[in-house]
Structure 1
Amino acid sequence: MVKYRLGYDYVFISSEPIVYKGEEVSSMSLDVLFRVFDENGQERLFDGKELTDQRLLLKNGESCYLTELVRCSFDKEAIVSFERNQRLLEGSGYTIEWTIDSYAKDVGIGYSEAQEISKEKWMGIMVHYRELFDNRDNYSAQSCSYFTEKVLGR
């Protein structure tokens, strides 16, 4: 059976449209890939059946999405901050790690299309327009979709 790691996007919405090099940019986004480990240090992977519902079963019988375990927010100084949800993680039986997989600017108003860009360009836009991203919509950033990374040999 094919196993996967899960990742989610985090979308940072500007308080007003940005015109950047002739393009209307409505938001900026990150794709963040998660790695979940159990108490024995074994990575917890998802299989195809679980992708219809990507909830993680906790030791107390409850379940949650990975985005509930890590909060991603706009930070005026660092631009992006990540914070573990210690309340959920304590006693869950899991530890979590993450990496930023890609960066994108979302071009268009109303309907936008993500265009992948470099980390440097992404940070440059976010720093230059930081006042427009410093709004309540980005505390924490919205997550609108998920993606997978296939793990071979498991």
Structure 2
Amino acid sequence: MIDTDLLGYWSDDGRRSGAAEANDMAFRDDGSGFTYWARIVGGTFTVERFTWLVDAGGRLQIRFNELLYGNWVVENGQIVHRVENTSPATDIPREFQITTYSVTSGTSMFGKRITSLKLDVLIHLGAQVYYYKHNDVDTTYGVFDPRRDIR
């Protein structure tokens, strides 16, 4: 089952102002998604592509199917990702993850409305809480999408 509350692009950037890393996660309505981690200084990144569903018990099940990593650079004002290596899911130590989760709405300390996603198990490097960014996962300018941005 697809939980529409999860659909969209999520980021932990609301938690750590001035952080040296980007840590994002996206869920698409076709049951696919990806994680994205990048170091701001040094220009390295990783992407883990996955399929997902919510089981009858309300738990999020994620099955990783590909790992990509490489470097990113700015060319002509655009961020370009260059993949140095790809690996199948069998090379990912945690090929399959199950976690409970919650999606809640609230207000940030700056008075802005926010929606947060809290995972009870660490799925991606360093984050268990993400903030909703937008639902246009594929085409929003400046947002990483591995189907579009990997060269």
Question: TM-score scaled to structure 2, two decimals?
Answer: 0.31
Higher relative contact order (CA 8 A, sep 6+): 1
Larger gyration radius, structure 1 or structure 2: 1
Which structure carries more helix by proportion? 1
Question: TM-score scaled to structure 1, two decimals?
Answer: 0.31
